[in-house]
Structure formats: structure tokens, C-alpha cells
Amino acid sequence: MQASNPLKRIAFGSPNSPTEECVFCRIRDRKAASNIVYEGAKYFAFLDAFPFSRGHTLVCPQKHGETIWDMEEGDIAELFQAASRISKAVVAAVGADGFRFIQNNGEAADQVVAHVHVHVIPIKMADRKRFMGREHFSPEEMEETARAIRTNLGLG
């Protein structure tokens, strides 16, 4: 059963504002530019515009909700199953040695966009103890990375 969400509402795309203002919903609806790597009936994934590493991917439910408390438990499990499948393609695409899942809920947890999402962050051994700062990749590098992930997902 879905519980009400007592977490403080945050600035970007709160369920209290229209869905068309949510940047992730705008990406889902192709109204904002992004490098989408996966799209299914319930979940979609795209490269983070401000990545911690090459291949940093966000996996989101198609249905708008701010935190995992806005989701049914079975849907949370399916979100992480999708993230797991996508993580294998991300790691293979960028030649990583491991990966992190990060899932923030609420402003206090550093959630920036108020749409449920799981970060899949590929990590190489050389970067294992390094501070994870935001990186910049050219549009061509981002598209090349997205293409490699789609290929590893069997999506061509």
C-alpha cells in the first residue's frame, strides 16, 4: 500500500506542480533534449547531463512521483530490476570495473529533481578512491556513449 510522503517537497518538478514542469517528464515526452538509452512500458533511462563519470545513467519510472514512497512496493522492485539490467550494459559500454547505485529521496538526501530516479554510476579501479566531481562530455561523446549502452542492451 502506498503511504503518504511526509518528506519536504523540493523545488524541481514536485508532484504539487504540473507534470509538464518536471524535467524528467519532459525528457520522457521528448520535450527536453537528452540521450535516452532505454525506454520500456514502465521505466526509461537516459544519460545524466551532469555526470560523475562517463556512462552515468538515470533510470526513472514513466509515472511521475517524487520519491520511492510515491511508488507501490512491487514497482520499486521493478525499478531496481531495470536499473540492474541497465547497469550491465553501462559497465560493458564504458569498460568500467564496477558501479554504484544511488537513489536519493528528498532535499536533505540531495535529491535535485523531484522525480524518482536511480543513478547508475560506472566506476573504474583507477577512480576508486577519487572524489566524484561532475564531469563534462561533448554532445558527440554523450551520443557515442548512449549508442554503446543501447548496443549492450541489444537495442542497436
According to DSSP, residue 33 is labeled -
Active site residue 136: no
What whole-number distance in Å separates Cα of residue 123 and Cα of residue 147?
A: 19
Q: Which residues of 106-139 are buried (b: 16+ CB within 10 A; e: fewer)?
A: beeeebebbbbbbbbbbbeeeeeeeeeeeeebee
Which residues sit opposite 98 in a β-bridge? 123
From 56, 115, 117, 119, active-site residue = 117
* Catalytic site positions: 117
